[in-house]
Chain A
């Protein structure tokens, strides 16, 4: 057993074998210097870590419905600030939300927005596995173009999901945050650096981390491969690593020769149908979209304020 990494979140949880979510949770919490309170929206992490009578959490933990992690965190953080002011608590406490993409991009978006707008000092960590995985793989606002999901099934004549992922980073950025970043569980050192910065930014207001979490179960790849698939997402520029500090973009890893998106698509059976010759155009379309987004990001990173 790794003593350090299991200090806040213990094993014996029911995440699928080869799931990256526990690694995200452990490394994020390991960067906190103070005590933490975890606020967790319904999702894979919640259902697998809190199977009664067991809890994998060794830190105070509040479970929320899908839609209100942001609202709960706002209330708890406000109560803490008041109690601190009245000198009824002297401990320094950090508040961390963990939520999936369903609880962030879709159902919890309004309460996240409210929390950010009011400036509550909470770190919001979205582990993004691009769909509603714990209920069997329905599409969400984070599902990529062309993915075969249960609510957007691919067939002989259908390519599956026909929308591009919502640009959540831009939505969150619109709330004037001190710090937000896009990270990837396959790059743990980068994730930890960003977490550290995010915790520091909490002095001024909320911080946000969007972390890619390759899902062995619904993306359909071997249980051993979450790191490999995650790395390919960044190496193809599908999931660039970048951060936005006081409105300034910074790309954390520039890939010299980005791999073609096929390299990424072919590792997962949710994209299998796209590799048929008649769907080559769809793959080209996805590649074009990636190139465009990457070029825009480069431009954004060029202008500094």
Chain B
């Protein structure tokens, strides 16, 4: 029996929480020891450990990468990092170009 659900998960309908942010996290890849703390505790699950070739230069062959699309700028990742590899920077004049969420970029382009 196939049931059509009235509401289904559709990513394009997601709230643009990247817009909430007034600070954004930046990972210092030379410091990151890939412990995974930030990955576990990020409330928006923005972070993953990248083990692709690019990351091989780092100490453990893995490095934390942050996707800012939904990042609310809470600063939890910076707080839980044991080696202070993450720093929070101020967004200048709202979301700047570098960190702008995807939807916002579409609006301006």
Q: Verify that A and B bind, or say they do not.
A: yes
Which residues from chain A sit less than 8 Å from chain B, CB to CB?
A: 1-6, 10-15, 17-23, 26-27, 50-58, 188, 216, 222-228
A18 and B11 contact, CB distance less than 8 A = no
Closest chain B CB from A59 CB (angstroms): 9
In the bound assembly, the distance between CA atoms of A13 and B18 in angstroms comes to: 11
A23 and B43 contact, CB distance less than 8 A = yes
Q: Mark B42-82, 1 if CB is under 8 A from A, else 0.
A: 11111110000000000000000001011011111011100
Residue of A nearest to B43 (CB): A22
> Top 6 closest A-B pairs, CB basis?
A12-B14, A224-B75, A18-B74, A17-B72, A11-B70, A17-B74
Contacts of A222 in B (CB 8 A): 75
Contacts of B34 in A (CB 8 A): none
Residue of B nearest to A21 (CB): B43
B7 and A55 contact, CB distance less than 8 A = yes
Most A CB contacts (10 A, CB to CB) among B17, B40, B78, B80 go to B40
In the bound assembly, the distance between CA atoms of A188 and B17 in angstroms comes to: 24
B7 and A52 contact, CB distance less than 8 A = yes
In the bound assembly, the distance between CA atoms of A6 and B67 in angstroms comes to: 13
A1 and B9 contact, CB distance less than 8 A = no
B75 and A51 contact, CB distance less than 8 A = no
Count chain B residues whose beta carbon lies closer than 8 angstroms to a beta carbon of A.
34
Contacts of B72 in A (CB 8 A): 17-18, 223
Q: Mark B1-33, 1 if CB is under 8 A from A, else 0.
A: 000000111110111110011000000000000
Closest chain A CB from B47 CB (angstroms): 6
**What are 16 A-to-B residue pairs whose CB atoms are below 8 Å?**
A1-B70, A2-B42, A4-B48, A11-B14, A11-B69, A12-B15, A12-B16, A12-B17, A13-B17, A18-B75, A19-B43, A22-B44, A23-B40, A188-B40, A224-B75, A226-B43
Contacts of A4 in B (CB 8 A): 48
In the bound assembly, the distance between CA atoms of A12 and B43 in angstroms comes to: 11
Residue of A nearest to B75 (CB): A224
Is B85 among interface residues, defined by CB-CB distance under 8 A? no
Given the interface contacts A2-B48, A14-B17, A224-B76, does A23 sit within 8 Å of B11 by beta carbon?
no
Residue of B nearest to A20 (CB): B43
Closest chain A CB from B7 CB (angstroms): 5
Residue of A nearest to B74 (CB): A18
